Structure 1
């Protein structure tokens, strides 16, 4: 191989001299396509910036070093040169230059891809598990969608191969190394042999996403109108190649590459699930439980798309799941909630955001020791979440039924809420219906976490839990139960949050549900507790 590269290097220098190009290459590499080689020669201070040469069945691209650098960092050539690092390639000379630029480009790809994942999957991106193959094939997919040149190169490179993963194994290894470097920087972390976004990186990405997008647009506009030489090089490279691109690649030809979603996973109760596995309720039952009999029952109130899935493998082997389909932003329930609580509580309305919240916070609460029904499957595009079904009654059910344990569980739920708050989580939708007492063990499960957050108002959680029951109960009972909740919260929580929960700005929000005289009875009960 070394001898072959020496011969290629000599041929390159002879070709440059015949073309009246006197500079010696800083670096050079090539890609072997079935039709021949594409050779990229990097020169210092090349005035023409880009020139295409022909040699036998090979295409030779002579490129200025700084133009390569700009294509790697700013997509100056719309990544038509930088993207060659995504194909199996051989370095002829200038190993350090090519290796450094490739590392720089792969790092950029991973960071951009992570930002897109965060944008698309919101906080649930923290629960995604990523194989390095995802970064490679997702980038190739996106490039092929906008560039007929890249589309042609992918197709020509893969059309004769049955094992594309083996074909790209060196590139996958390069992405693995690039991801490992981001692990050392605290941007990625390891998870069961895969990679995951760290919370630190997620917070930075969500706080800077808009600014980064604006800056990128501004740079592109500036380049178009101020850096005419580079724009000319980009157009020149494109025009010199597009004449050789068959019409099929200029249209909607889809190259044969693996689906990037095959390398993106979500951790569930039945193992890692590929994110592109999207099953409705019936398909889910058939996929995972084949010949078993199943039954689907609609449950919940009119505005909730929730179901009870029962799978019977035999008389003594019954599995049960709670299935929740998130309604979109036109859901009347959340429109009304957002308008009425304006200035107090910012409810998430988009189905994707609410499902992302629930996925993340269910997993988070379980990881730190709280009970929440385990997630077993996610249909991301269908906005449908599958969880284990927990038999029991909610705190609300106990109150309405006047169950003898209602006082005890009111105290326990108050204490539990204080512990959840201490873990840094605010529930956002903290009604008594969202605390489920398991019928056999008596364990309390926190459910319906689609409005949960890490930056919410703890006092609002308390206000809702303390005062909302006044809509159903008489003033005396509501006050006594609120007192038990407050006692539980005060036993381990922040007393200042209890005081804040009595603020008129919160109570006015609940006025349509909880009458003023009931609110006063509850407030008096809690004030008495705070004085003791």
Structure 2
């Protein structure tokens, strides 16, 4: 029966277009497998030199079945595919299943163009949300489809029913794969152009800075609003039909509104499909802390204690968690707007000597990136267990130890402080050899376990190819501000400098004692101690 109906539709379209028909498809509920007995057959006709540009035709086929044929000018069709000229009023039909009845290759080429544009637009939106964190994400091809459909549902709510039935109804799996096949081809072409990477049907953007700037994102969102208004206008413009058709169309939309169906989760929240490139780390776009821990550990739990670590503006917490009568300790770090306050006085204090970022997204991205990078390079850092994006937070393993600042200030004894300082200097030089700067290389951000293992923490200001001399200067002079006897401070500083010299550049140590940096620490370090550390930095160790 279907083949006969398709043939009848093609014949009618040929008549309506005076043999100017360029391409022809059938789409809609009958193709997608959710048609009701009263459902129309839906056809799309691409017409050469169609003066009206776009028009709906409702008609009775010779078989007695009702059909709608959307006629669209060929050039107009192409512009809607390439740049949403009609607000995707026509192009939107190619997100679902269809059957090409005439000029299949032409339709496939423009479907690929549509989906290439969709991927790029969705990547722009993702960059707007995730910024520098975006390269850590793996975006499945389904995300591009569902996120686009979600936007279309917001613009034109009646399509909720058809999208739900198409992609999550009886033929949902087949329809989804049909749509993804050209998303796959489009992504492969974008990959060849170096815009993204495609790995097992997952997209990863290579360099967000190459893709977009903020002004482009702003213009995109304006365009998105305009697109929605335009789509409504085109619907009215195209539907030049009589009162009977209008009544039937209205009745159809009202009946859909009252049918009971639930919009599936992927259509409501496509961002839940996003995962990290490191499969061992959980990614939660929206989740409370306890639920995140439960999902990470794979078991129900209870947070029995949440204790703030460090000072007033700190957003670092030690969590004591009970899981199946066993207790564990974890670290929760939030990069909220409260936490950013501590960086404003630091930026003023270190003005001209170093740059700091206060933005929550940037600080979280930096910390995650460099915790991951340092671990891969063999350095000891806390392991990230989960990223909670909505809360701008990380869940990490807890490392038992004491800060190097506590060791220097005599709060802990029986530790080979000089040996630890030398090892810290050596590790910092190795980091610099990998062109990585800590940015915030204070002794209080370095943990030492009872076994003498050294961990770098608080990497939110870490950066690539940054200011190596600043790292050295900050460690040496900021450590000297502690109320500790001068001899111990100088032995620690000398051991650190010797350790750094094993792999590092002596010129960077000398640079660390330049006026550019020293003036920052002068108000907080005793003048005699300050001068002695400067002399240590400038000492000729090549003899």
In structure 2, distance between residues paired with 1:233 and 1:379: 36
In structure 1, which of residues 469, 473, 488 is the aligned counterpart of residue 499 of structure 2? 488
Q: How many residues align?
A: 511
Change (3 A) 1:290 1:218: closer
2:44 to 40, 52, 68: 40
State the match for 2:214 in structure 1: 210
- The answer to whether residue 24 in structure 2 is matched with residue 28 in structure 1 is yes
Residues of 2 paired with 1:241 and 1:506: CA distance?
Answer: 71
Give how far 1:77 is off.
1.1
CA-CA distance at 1:249 after TM superposition: 9.3
Structure 1 residues 23-81: Cα deviation after superposition (integer angstroms, max 9, x where no partner): 43222222122333332211233222212211243322111222222222222111222
- In the TM superposition, residue 346 of structure 1 has moved relative to its aligned partner by 3.0
Q: How far, CA to CA, are the matches of 1:14 and 1:491 in structure 2?
A: 84
Deviation of the 1:505 alpha carbon: 2.2
The answer (yes or no) to whether the contact 2:513–2:534 under 8 Å persists in 1 is yes
| Offset of residue 135 of structure 1 | 1.3
Written as runs of structure 1 = structure 2, the 5 A alignment for 1:304-383 is 304-313=314-323, 318-328=327-337, 331-383=340-392
How does the TM-score come out when normalised to structure 2? Answer: 0.82
CA contact (8 A) 1:137 1:257 kept: no
Aligned to 1:131: 140
Q: How big is the shift at 1:387?
A: 0.7
CA contact (8 A) 2:195 2:205 kept: yes
Q: Distance in 1 between matches of 2:399 and 2:487?
A: 32
Question: Is the contact between residue 431 and residue 468 of structure 1 (CA under 8 Å) also seen in structure 2?
Answer: yes
Could you tell which deviates more after superposition, 150-159 or 115-124?
150-159
1:228 maps to none
Q: Deviations over 1:230-272 (max 9, x none)?
A: x99983345445974647999xx99546231232112568x35
TM alignment of 1:169-180, pairs within 5 A:
169-180=177-188
Q: Deviations over 1:133-152 (max 9, x none)?
A: 11111111122223346546
Q: 3-state DSSP class of the match of 2:480? A: helix
Structure 1 distance, partners of 2:201, 2:327, is 33
The answer to which of 383-392 and 363-372 deviates more is 363-372
* Alignment root-mean-square deviation, CA: 3.5
Question: Which residue in the other structure is 2:243 paired with?
Answer: none
The counterpart of 1:411, out of the listed 404, 408, 422, is: 422
Specify the SS of the correspondent of 1:450.
coil
| 1:11 to 2:17 alignment | no
Quote the residue 2:313 is aligned against: 303
Structure 1: 5+ residue stretches without partners:
225-230
Q: CA deviation at 1:374?
A: 1.1
In structure 1, distance between residues paired with 2:44 and 2:394:
49
Q: Is the 8 A contact 1:29 1:91 kept in 2?
A: yes
Q: Distance in 1 between matches of 2:9 and 2:324?
A: 74
Aligned equivalents of 1:249 and 1:509: distance in 2?
A: 69
- The answer to whether the Cα contact below 8 Å between 2:131 and 2:208 also exists between their aligned partners in 1 is no
Aligned equivalent of 2:449 = 438
Q: How far apart, in 1, do the equivalents of 2:255 and 2:505 lie?
A: 66
Q: 229, 234, 237: which is aligned to 1:236?
A: 234
For the residues of structure 2 that align with 1:395 and 1:280, how far apart are their CA atoms? Answer: 30
Report the Cα offset of residue 274 of structure 1: 4.8
Please say if 1:67 is aligned against 2:76.
Answer: yes
Consecutive unaligned residues in structure 2, runs of 5 or more: 30-34, 61-65, 241-245
Q: 1:143 to 1:520 in 2, by over 3 A?
A: farther
What is the CA–CA distance in structure 1 between the aligned matches of 2:140 and 2:224, rounded to whole Å? 31
